[in-house]
Chain A
Amino acid sequence: MMMRGLGRGLGFWIGAAVFIALAFAMALTIRNEYAFFAGFVVLQFIVLATAWNILGGYAGYVNFGTSAFFGVGVYTAVFLLKAVAAPLWIQIGVAALVGAALGLGVGLLTLRLRGIFFSIATVAITIIAETLITNWKFVGGATGVQLLRPPVTSPFDSYNKMLFVLAAVMVVIAVALARHVQNSGIGRGLRAIRDDEIAAECSGVPTLNLKLVACALSGALMCAAGAPSAMYLQFADPVSAFNLNYSVSALAMSLIGGTSHWIGPVLGAILLATTQQLLTVTISSEINVLVLGVMLVLFVVVAPEGIIGLARKVWRLVRRGAP
Chain B
Amino acid sequence: MFSWELLLDAIVLGTMVGCFYAAVSIGLSISFGLLDVPNVAHPALLVLASYGAWLLGDFDIDPILAGLLLMPVFFVLGIALYRTYHETFEKRGSDAGVRGLAFFFGIAFIIEVGIIMAFGVDQRTVQAFYIGKSIEIFDIRIPMRMVVAFAMALLLSLALTFYLSKTFLGRAIRAVAQDEGALRLMGADPVAIKQWAFGIATAVVALAGALLIIVQPVEPTLDRAYIGRTFCVVVMAGLGSMSGTLLAGVILGVAETVVLTMFGASWAPAISFTLLLIVLGVRPQGLFGR
| Contacts from B to A (Cβ < 8 Å) | 32, 38, 40, 84, 88, 92, 95, 97-99, 101-103, 105-107, 109-110, 113-114, 116-117, 224, 227-228, 231, 235, 266-267, 269-270, 273-274, 276-277, 280-281, 284
Contact = CB atoms under 8 A, between A and B. Distances in A.
A135 B273 CA distance: 16
A28 interface: no
Contact of B88 (A128, A131, A301): A301
Nearest to B121: A286
Contacts of B284: 113, 117
Smallest CB-CB A-B distances: 6 pairs? A124-B273, A293-B109, A131-B270, A296-B106, A297-B106, A293-B110
A300 B106 contact: yes
A300 B103 contact: yes
Given A117-B235, A251-B105, A252-B106, A286 B280 contact: no
A117 B38 CA distance: 9
A123 B228 contact: yes
B266 A127 contact: no
Given A64-B105, A296-B106, A124 B228 contact: yes
Q: Which label, helix, strand, loop or mixed, suits the secondary structure of the A interface?
A: helix
Interface size class of A (residues with CB under 8 A): 35 or more
A62 B102 contact: yes
A109 B117 CA distance: 38
Given A113-B284, A116-B32, A301-B88, A296 B273 contact: no
A135 B266 contact: yes
Q: Which label, helix, strand, loop or mixed, suits the secondary structure of the B interface?
A: helix
Contacts of B102: 62, 251-252, 255, 296, 300
B40 A116 contact: yes
Contacts, number: 116
Contact of B273 (A117, A128, A300): A128
B227 A120 contact: yes
A115 B109 contact: no
Interface string A288-315: 0110111011001100100000000000
A158 interface: no
* Interface-centre pick from A56, A115, A287 (highest chain B CB count, 10 A): A115
Contacts of B117: 286-287, 290
Contact of B95 (A60, A130, A301): A60
A132 B88 CA distance: 39
A255 B26 CA distance: 31
B109 A304 contact: no
